[in-house]
Amino acid sequence: MEFTTALFYAFSAVMIIAALRVITARNPVHAALFLVLSFFSASALWLLLKAEFLAIVLVLVYVGAVMVLFLFVVMMLDINLEKLREGFWGYLPLAAGIGVVVVLQMAAVIWRGFLTPDHVVPAASATIGTTKELGKLIYTQYIYAFEIAAVILLLAIVAAVALTLRRRKDVKHFDPSAALKAKASERVRIVKMKAESNRDNGQSVGEQPAAPAADQK
């Protein structure tokens, strides 16, 4: 077995385990961190295919920007995990059926490579081209898909902001307009009080009590 083949199987195993932990982890923060690990593993696979630009973009965009936003939203939302997991076993048959269909589709694509082990897979850089050619394709042939993806990301940002701005019991809220309408005469009120003496202990207010005398033998 070649060294690159061993690296491929190693990164693939790490990515599969991390992807499984994304959907099985009870803590949403841990699930997001496992998703970061799966992105790093996928980036390593892109490097093995000699697609350095896609690997760097995957790390910078998804790990450096999108996942930071996911963690920010997940840690700010007050998620009830018990309520979130209600009805999990009811949707399990449907989810298992969809998973089987996805696995069959992937197997149909890569089955030819397993049947012909001597088949040489071309490098991804030979088919994708340079960053200049990739930019031309994105802004000419795939411009509508690119704009739709941008709109979807914008809607996700607006939805995250709308969810975090809802009324919560554990957050203090005040009306800024009421604070601006306040007057100087209403903020502080000085009250004069007459000093009184503490007659029970035989001392005035503010006087410290005498220390008890030491016991003499």
- Report the candidate in 196, 216, 215, 192 with the shortest Cα–Cα distance to residue 207: 196
- Report the candidate in 67, 73, 65 with the shortest Cα–Cα distance to residue 37: 67
Q: Is the pLDDT of residue 14 over 90?
A: yes
Look at residue 201 in the predicted model and tell me its pLDDT.
55
Kindly state the average pLDDT of the residues 155-160.
Answer: 84
Q: Is the pLDDT of residue 216 over 60?
A: no
Kindly state the average pLDDT of the residues 122-140.
Answer: 70
- Class for domain 1-78, per CATH? mainly alpha
> pLDDT class for 79, splitting at 50, 70, 90?
low
Q: Name the average pLDDT for the chain.
A: 76
Look at residue 192 in the predicted model and tell me its pLDDT.
79
Domain coordinates of the chain in residue numbers? Answer: 1-78, 130-165
Q: Is the pLDDT of residue 1 over 60?
A: yes
Kindly state the average pLDDT of the residues 102-109.
Answer: 83
Q: Is the pLDDT of residue 149 over 80?
A: yes
